[in-house]
Every structure is written in structure tokens, then in C-alpha cells.
């Protein structure tokens, strides 16, 4: 009897620890079942990922195994039933299997050009493209192009010239006397070497006439610089359009017809033009020209100071001395020149009260154009 009890006790002591006298061997394979499921899942996922044909197939595969309701989340819920002594091995197998599946998905995504990669750097080719809002030209640029277009229809050619000029082209060739106020450093920007920032686009006329035989018919849009104190109607740099026509028999009537046509094109057929005597060194006779007020229609308002007209710019017949300076015979050739400020024109056309709005870079303002 003692021998049997001892043998039975020895048998009981050396039974596997997971043996349950009540449940028998029902829990024997608890760890193996999870590990085997993980290994099978990893093998199957690797095989499916290797033959996946598109991003949709990879996404379905990810959902099947790693998704919220997939196999691995379900297996993780069963980890609590694993005996403590088996949890380390089971957890290691679980993590290894999940890593294998993710690696297979990444490899397949790379094979497909990244179409199925599910991370923060992934590009989903099924999403609609992002449209970039295009910019647009500055209102002064738009207005300059429109002005040039008007003059081109009247036979003018657009030309350009340097913004850094020499004194000869900016003053001397334009018949500007040495004591003229515009030469003063208080009015013009000088460089140490004697060159200047051009104070007008008129030097372009000289450069064109120096290199071209008449007839000449050009407009020269561009930026100019003057030592003005910035305010609502003045700036240290602004834009002009200079016009020049040289031919035989050109008269003041031709000039007026061009300016009247330009006024109609920019503001409508109701706009009238007025010429007033003035003086400029490079034209003789010289005039300032006005447009009838586009705000009140010429009736008088605070914009036109109740005069019915708004000053635009200067013009006149090209001075014979200017023609001689470029080698043109004033006995044969005659011509007219005119200029206008684009900022002033923009203020009239768009009802802008302060030209500084054009350069404040306020998107709310610029979007209106």
C-alpha cells in the first residue's frame, strides 16, 4: 500500500504543470494554438502580399490581419487566457508574426510603387489631386499691358530701356538745361559714378532714335524714380508710359487725336480731352492734357475739384533741338511725344484713393484685380 502511494505521488509530482485534475488536458495546447495561428497567418499574408496586384488588394490584406476587427486584434484578446509562464513566448511569437505581416505589406507596397503603403508618408493615388491656386498679374502690370495694347492698335511699337541711365540720355539729349530743377540731387537719385536712376522714360526715346532711322512710332512703359515724399498721390518709384511719333508732316492735331482715342478706349466714349499750354524742355509747343472727370462726368465734384477735368500728364511737339541731338533733320521730320503715369491712371480707373494701396502687398486689395 505504501509502495503504491509513493509511486502515485511520484507520478503526480512529475505531471506537466498545466495538467488540471478537473479539466484534464483541455488547456494543454493553449499556447501552441495562438503561436500556430500567428505563424499560419504570417505565412498566408506573406504569400498573398507577394502576388497582390494593386493597392486595393494590399488594403484588404491589411484589414484582414491587422485591421481593427482583423485576426491579430482577436488573438490579442485571448492572451489573457495564457498561463503566466507561457505569456513571454506567446507574446514574442505574436509580435514577430505581426512584424512579418507588416514587412510583407511594405515590400509589396514598394513593389507596386508605394501605392499600398499605409504610413504617414504614403501617397494615396485614389485621392483627387490638390489644385494650386494660380496667382495673377499686379494691377499696374495689367493696366500697362492694356495701355500698350491700345497704342499698338494705333500703330505704336512697345520698347524698353535701362532703369539705370547716364546724365546725357536722361537730361542733355532731351534739351534739359544745366540749371533745371530736375537735375538737382534733391529730385533725382545719383550714383557715386555719376549715373542716375532714370527720372522718366523719355531716355528710351533718345536711345531708339539714335539707332533707328525715321519714321518712328513707339511707346515705352517702365518704372521711374524720383525723390518725392510718399503720400496718397506721390511715390519715390512709379510707372510711366512714354509715347513718341516721328514722321513727315506730324502736327499737334495728330497728337490730340491719339490722346482722345486713348481716353475713349480707357474710360468710354463720353470722356472728353482738354489741352492746356505748358512748358517742358524737350517739347515745343508743350501742353498738359486733362480728361473730363470720370467720376462726375464733367459736372464737378471733389475728385476734380469742381473743375470737371482731371490732369493726366504732359505732351507736346518734339523740340527741334532733340531731333538734332539724335541726328534727325528738323526741317524734314517732326513729331510729338506724350507721357502718363500708370498709378494716376489706375487711381482714376479703379477709384483708388491712395496709390500706396498698390504696393502694400495686401492680398485683400490685390485679389480684387
List, run by run, the mean pLDDT of 10-residue segments along the chain (369 residues). Answer: 42 38 39 78 86 84 86 82 81 86 87 58 72 84 94 95 95 92 92 94 95 95 91 86 95 95 92 92 93 82 81 93 95 95 88 87 86
Closest CA to 367 of 213, 215, 150, 139: 139
Handedness of CA 59, 62, 68, 70 (dihedral sign): positive
* DSSP 8-state class, residue 232: S
Q: How far is CA 365 from CA 145, 180, 369, in A?
A: 20, 39, 8
Question: Which is it for strands 164-165 and 216-225: parallel, antiparallel or unpaired?
Answer: unpaired
Closest CA to 29 of 42, 39, 18: 18
CA atoms within 13 A on the CB side of 27: 14
| Residue 83 CB contacts under 8 Å (≥ 6 apart), including other chains | 18, 27, 30, 31
Closest CA to 108 of 60, 46, 43: 46
Q: How far is CA 256 from CA 69, 281, 289, in A?
A: 84, 20, 9
Q: Name the packing angle between helices 55-66 and 84-111 (round to 10°).
A: 170
- The pLDDT assigned to 17 comes to 39
Give the Cα separation of 133 and 131 in Å (integer): 6
* DSSP 8-state class, residue 131: P
Number of Cβ atoms within 10 Å of the Cβ of 361:
8
Rounded to 5 degrees, what are φ and ψ at 221?
-80, 145
**pTM, full prediction:** 0.62
Are the C-beta atoms of 188 and 226 separated by less than 8 Å?
Answer: yes
Give the Cα separation of 45 and 106 in Å (integer): 12
Helix or strand holding residue 277 (H, E): strand 273-280
- The pLDDT assigned to 23 comes to 38
Number of Cβ atoms within 10 Å of the Cβ of 277:
9
In the sheet with 216-225, reading across from the earlier edge strand, the strands are: 157-158, 216-225, 237-247, 334-341, 309-318, 283-292, 273-280
Instruction: Report helix, strand or coil for 244.
Output: strand
Which triple of cell numbers denotes residue 137? Answer: 498679374
| Residue 30 CB contacts under 8 Å (≥ 6 apart), including other chains | 18, 81, 82, 83, 86
The CATH number of domain 139-366, selected from 3.40.50.2000, 3.30.930.10, 1.10.1760.20, 3.40.50.720: 3.30.930.10
Amino acid at each position: 500500500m505504501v509502495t503504491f502511494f509513493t509511486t502515485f505521488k511520484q507520478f503526480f509530482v512529475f505531471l506537466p504543470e498545466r495538467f488540471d485534475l478537473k479539466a484534464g488536458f483541455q488547456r494543454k495546447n493553449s499556447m501552441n494554438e495562438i503561436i500556430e495561428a500567428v505563424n499560419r497567418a504570417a505565412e498566408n499574408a506573406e504569400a498573398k502580399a507577394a502576388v497582390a496586384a494593386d493597392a486595393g488588394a494590399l488594403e484588404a490584406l491589411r484589414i484582414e490581419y491587422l485591421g481593427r476587427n482583423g485576426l491579430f486584434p482577436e488573438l490579442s484578446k485571448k492572451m489573457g487566457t495564457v498561463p503566466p509562464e507561457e505569456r513571454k513566448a506567446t507574446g514574442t511569437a505574436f509580435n514577430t508574426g505581426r512584424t512579418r505581416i507588416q514587412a510583407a505589406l511594405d515590400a509589396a507596397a514598394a513593389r507596386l510603387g508605394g501605392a499600398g503603403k499605409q504610413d504617414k508618408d504614403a501617397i494615396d493615388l485614389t485621392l483627387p489631386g490638390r489644385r494650386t491656386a494660380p496667382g495673377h498679374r499686379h494691377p499696374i502690370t495689367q493696366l500697362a499691358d492694356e495701355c500698350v495694347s491700345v497704342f499698338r492698335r494705333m500703330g505704336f511699337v512697345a520698347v524698353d530701356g535701362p532703369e539705370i541711365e547716364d546724365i546725357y540720355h536722361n537730361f542733355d539729349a532731351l534739351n534739359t538745361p544745366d540749371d533745371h530743377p530736375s537735375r538737382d540731387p534733391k529730385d533725382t537719385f545719383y550714383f557715386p559714378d555719376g549715373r542716375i536712376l532714370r527720372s522718366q522714360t523719355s531716355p528710351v526715346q533718345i536711345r531708339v532714335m539714335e539707332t533707328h532711322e525715321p519714321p518712328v512710332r513707339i511707346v515705352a512703359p517702365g518704372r521711374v524714380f524720383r525723390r518725392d515724399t510718399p503720400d496718397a498721390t506721390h511715390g519715390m518709384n512709379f510707372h510711366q508710359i512714354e509715347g513718341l511719333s516721328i514722321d513727315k508732316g506730324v502736327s499737334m492735331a495728330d497728337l490730340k487725336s491719339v490722346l482722345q482715342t486713348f481716353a475713349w478706349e480707357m474710360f468710354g466714349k463720353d470722356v472728353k480731352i482738354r489741352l492746356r499750354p505748358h512748358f517742358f524742355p524737350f517739347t515745343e509747343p508743350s501742353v498738359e492734357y486733362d480728361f473730363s472727370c470720370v467720376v462726375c462726368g464733367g459736372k464737378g465734384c471733389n475728385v476734380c475739384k469742381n473743375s470737371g477735368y482731371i490732369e493726366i500728364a504732359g505732351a507736346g511737339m518734339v523740340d527741334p533741338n532733340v531731333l538734332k541731338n539724335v541726328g534727325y533733320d528738323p526741317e524734314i521730320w517732326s513729331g510729338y511725344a506724350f507721357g502718363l503715369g500708370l498709378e494716376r491712371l489706375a487711381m482714376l480707373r479703379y477709384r483708388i484713393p491712395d496709390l500706396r494701396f498698390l504696393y502694400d502687398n495686401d492680398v485683400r486689395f490685390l485679389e480684387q484685380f
